[in-house]
Structure 1
Amino acid sequence: MDKNILSIDIGTSSVKISIVSIHNNSYEIKSQSKCYYDTQRIRANNLPPNYSQQNVKIIFEAIDNALKSIKFDGQIDSITVCGQMHSCVLWNHRLFDEPFDPQNLRFDMISDNYDWTDGRCNEEFLKTLPKPDSFADKVSSGFGCATLFWLKRFKPDYLNQFDRCGTIMDWFVCLLCRLNIVSISIHNAHAWAYLDPIKPGWNLDILKQAEFPVHLLPKPVESNVIVGQTQFQWHSIIKPGIPVYVAIGDLQAMMFLAFKDNPDAIVLNMSTAAQICRLLVDKDLTLKIPRKSQLPIQSYDYYPFKNNEYLLVAPSLNGGNVLQSFMGFIQSTVKCLTNNDLTRTEIWEKLFHQFPTEFSNNDQSDEENFISIKPTLFGERHDLNSVFTVNISGGKQPSLFNIINCLCFELIQNVFNMMPNVSETIQNNFKQKIQTKLICTGSVIANNPILQRSLLLVIRRILYENNENKNNNDMLLLSNLLQSSLIDIEYVDKCDADVGCFILTKGAMIRRMDVNRNLMLFINGRPLPASSSISFSAIQIRDRISGRQIPLRIMARRVG
């Protein structure tokens, strides 16, 4: 029988919803909907420029509109949610006392969403925080625990009105299920800092000693656990009684989709931000993740993924958001000079159409050396003092095409610089005539020929600068990487986190197969029928009165 999953991705700039039907080991996307936030309304006003807070009411309205517009007549069997890993929302448990009414939800009992771009925790403040006991032993601004430390120190009265917190997705899951106890996945808890994903558990002793409000912290659970069931009817899609999984990280969800058939690939994702990712599999359980503070450079991280797998990630804060800001600058300039209103889409279309032929020719040399751009408009977590700069030399006057071409090139170069072993892998594979698979995800790069050309130029620079003999036959391959079988670049527009979210969750389900007819499975002394389907990580047995969790005993006994 087909199973239909409603999967929701609560992103930084939009909400994406997919309804996916599973049949055996295959799936089909039945319906999709996407709703962008109102950029003027979602940001809180009158805040310092380095603060970044999103209005939860606007996010909720986007979810409501996306649900309203999706087309599906069937029954939803489960719900999965993913989104902004570092985000932090606070609320009061009384928020869910009243019956759900999307028109009268008490948003005065909910804080703003402090998102991952928030920079209120400057370097001086971060130095005053205790060191986490985890391989992620450095805290960055925008991390949930850093935000809570800041609120505790500078806005204690404001903080005291709340008694619950989680990511924006955790809040939404609690809303769907009217949960009093907040659960957070290992993915998202790790992104908050002060969590050891190996145990797993919060660094409670460290936090208590630093007078952190530990009573607010959600409960960490594995990333494939059902935490509740929907409690109300919402449009025609959501009905009472639908199982809801704990929310997971959007990056892990997207990377699961990207690595599913290409575990050895290098993945470059460019959406609002940008990341380069690689998959690490600890097959024999001997992998020792180094401490962040002990890494030779501080620009990459290890993220928990699933089972004994980790993601090696270079997370740049600068991606499509920088290009969006530049388009906004062009918009305002055109408006000021001509009184014409152009949308950002129209500007991109004109750039693509008019982009000179020589700029799209991959035989061209790297960017003109008379202009250079440092594209870190939003800084970087490993370099809080990083700024956006433009340098023009030689008395030349750059054109708009020179600038946008250079900006795209430097955005790609910046994220490659953050993970040097990727460049080393490309160089070594090329020397040994081994193919390098590079998967590019996100619509920002999948639909942008200027960024795609920039990627080729960056790869060519990596290979050229490492080539010891500039006259050998390899240099012919470098003249046009598109013709080289050693560099396989795939652009994937549809590598959506909401789709990856449901696949990652589906992968956690274990069906008891009839492998040995002489075995019977017992749970807490009771035989389990051979036809049963269970998820071991989702089983929780609790005393109805005390709420205490009862130990789970699973035993296989040979019978017959």
Structure 2
Amino acid sequence: MAGSEAAGRPAPAYVLGIDLGTTSVKAALLVGAERGQSVAESCSRETRAHTGSLEAGPQGMEQNVQTIMRALNECLAALPQQQLQRVSHIGISGQMHGIVFWRKEKGCKWTECGTGPAFEPEEVSHLVTWQDGRCSPTFLSSLPVPQSHVSLATGFGCATVYWYLKKRLKKSGFPVHLLPEVGDPGSIAGRTICAWHGIPKGAKVGIALGDFQCSVYSCLTERTDAVLNISTAAQLTISMPPGFQPPETPDASSAVTYFPYFNGDYLAVAASLNGGNVLATFVNMVTRWIEELGLQIQESAIYTKIIKAALAQNDSQLSVHPTIFGERHVPEQLASVTNIAVSDLSLGHVTRALCRGIIENLCSMLPVQRLLETGVRRILGSGSALARNKVLRQEVERIFPFPVVYGKDIDAAVGAAMVMFHRK
């Protein structure tokens, strides 16, 4: 870089991608090159933002916005200042479907930190996330039918707004003025009003994008690829043919949703609510049992031990249907364990069966036969749960009759930056 500047060539401009995820935030700096873009630097921080909801009760899933933004500021502060000073565009993605409210003109305040001005949320509500379960099937059935091919589900922002309206007001129409304007992906929402962690004043900021589409955009180059992501939740995705249009009316019983993608295309998505969160719940359950026996073991150590135990068991006759969080197309569905035999009661057998159940559940939503009919030739595997769990990877390769490629840079922050890079 120094040599380029010394030779009289201008220093390269960077595009910053930010992803506000369910469990962590990530920032990625992309720089242009003759053969495309490359990730120059990236940083992530866990948010640890979950907070209880007295109003919604145990079904509520909310996050503290101040905690999320604190993690974002820490993330940006860890990136090299000299590169942030060359950022010309910012792309933003975040967890989809949830909602947060703020007072107009008082959504944030600017404060000074070690790297210069930073903004913090001021008069804002908690974030009601996509995992929120306060809207029961009965409540959802009482709402107007959406003029969309996508069915309404608990955790969707509009459903949450209706829940607040009906809980606090006797009669009220939907506050349409709260909804954001819809723009083209990559279009500019505005510019930074002052320097921010070294990012220059006037940097162009793109409109917010869904983290799911950005994740797919970061890796999907061939229509014959399917993308399997297992993080907090799990998704299996395929590209629909050019010109495809989804049905005009929603089918609440369908396990597949058609998500709008870039350039007028659509993705067929089996979006399961049960992924890494199921394994996390299982580990938490084992931890509580151990504590009740008067012992103490760190959850991280338990996770390592149960995966090791499962790797020692090549098979298990146990059948685990792991839908403890329900599914949007069958929200009342619970989890179950069947085919229990004395020979399959070890921790390794149960863990192996649980991992297989997560993959089988996803496969039941978007079957192998449909993948074959669509022309899928390989699967791109991604996500934190899949990356750290060899048993999950073994079960993916056992169930799907396609080559599975791991290690692809499937990353919403990178995807958000790529969208802005390609449209700047």
TM-score (norm 1): 0.68
The alpha-carbon deviation at position 385 of structure 1 amounts to 0.5
Q: Which residue number in structure 2 is paired with residue 199 of structure 1?
A: none
- Secondary structure (helix, strand or coil) at the match of 1:95 reads coil
Match of 2:377 in 1: 436
For residues 131-184 of structure 1, give each alpha carbon's deviation from its aligned partner in whole angstroms, at most 9, with x where no partner exists. 122222x21111111111111111359xxxxxxxxxxxxxxxxxxxxxxxxxxx
Amino acid at match of 1:71: P
* Counterpart selection for 1:140 from 153, 157, 160: 153
Partner of 2:71: 62
Aligned pairs for 1:6-25 (under 5 A) are 6-25=16-35
Q: Please say if 1:31 is aligned against 2:41.
A: yes
In the superposition, relative to structure 1, how do residues 24 and 228 fare at CA in structure 2: closer, same or farther (>3 Å)?
A: farther
Aligned identity (percent) is 29
Partner of 1:269: 229
**One-letter amino acid matched to 1:256:** Y
TM superposition shift of 1:403: 0.8
Determine if the alignment matches structure 1 residue 240 to structure 2 residue 201.
Answer: yes
Q: Which residue of 1 aligns with 2:177?
A: 215
Q: Deviations over 1:213-251 (max 9, x none)?
A: 11211111111111111112333x323211111110111
Instruction: For 2:264 and 2:241, locate their aligned partners in 1 and report how far apart those are by CA, in whole Å.
Output: 6
Please name the residue that 1:300 is paired with. 256
Q: Which has the larger radius of gyration?
A: 1
State the shift of 1:94 in Å.
3.0
Structure 1: segments with no counterpart, 5+ residues: 158-208, 360-365, 461-486, 510-560
Deviation at 1:341, TM superposition (A): 3.0
Contact 1:52 1:114 in 2 (8 A): yes
SS at structure 2 position matched to 1:335: helix
User: 1:255 corresponds to which letter in structure 2?
Assistant: V
Matched residue, 1:315? 271
SS of residue matched to 2:45: strand
Closer, same or farther: CA 15–389 of 1 in aligned 2, 3 Å: same
The answer to whether the aligner puts 1:289 opposite 2:250 as a matched pair is no
- For residue 32 of structure 1, report the CA deviation from its aligned partner: 1.2
Preserved CA contact (<8 Å) 1:442 1:493: no
Aligned with 2:320 (options 373, 376, 380): 373
Please state whether the residue corresponding to 2:255 is helix, strand or coil.
coil
Question: Using the alignment, how far apart are the partners of 1:337 and 1:276 within structure 2?
Answer: 39
Partner SS for 1:90? coil
Q: 2:142 aligns with which of 89, 110, 128?
A: 128
Q: CA RMSD, aligned part only?
A: 2.6
Whether the 8 Å CA contact 2:63–2:129 is kept in 1: the answer is yes
User: Equivalents in 2 of 1:225, 1:34: separation in Å?
Assistant: 25
Deviations for 1:449-484, whole angstroms, at most 9, x for unmatched residues? 100111123236xxxxxxxxxxxxxxxxxxxxxxxx
Residue in 1 that maps onto 2:412: 497
In 1, are the aligned partners of 2:147 and 2:249 still within 8 Å (CA)? no
Q: Distance in 1 between matches of 2:121 and 2:167?
A: 22
Residue 266 and residue 292 in structure 1: after superposition, are their counterparts in 2 closer, same or farther (change >3 A)? farther
Distance in 2, matches of 1:232 and 1:336, equals 53
Equivalent of 1:92, from 73, 80, 103?
Answer: 103
* Structure 2: runs of 5 or more not aligned: 1-9
Letter of the 1:327 partner, please give it. Answer: V
Equivalent AA in structure 2 for residue 70 of structure 1: L
Amino acid at match of 2:194: F
1:268 Cα deviation from its structure 2 partner: 1.0
State the SS of the aligned residue for 2:240. Answer: strand
Q: What is the number of equivalent residue pairs in this alignment?
A: 407
| From 293, 296, 301, the counterpart of 1:340 | 296
- Give the C-alpha shift of residue 338 in structure 1: 5.3
The Cα shift of 1:77 comes to 1.2
Distance in 2 of aligned mates of 1:373 and 1:456: 18
After superposition, the Cα gap between the structure-2 partners of 1:250 and 1:435, relative to the gap in structure 1 and judged at 3 Å, is closer
Contact 1:100 1:232 in 2 (8 A): no
Tell me: higher relative CO, structure 1 or 2? Use CA pairs within 8 A at least 6 residues apart: 2
Aligned residue for 1:220, secondary structure, equals coil
Alignment match, 2:6: none
Q: What residue identity is the alignment partner of 2:73? A: D
Do the aligned partners of residues 338 and 397 (structure 1) sit closer, same or farther apart at CA in structure 2, a change above 3 Å counting? farther
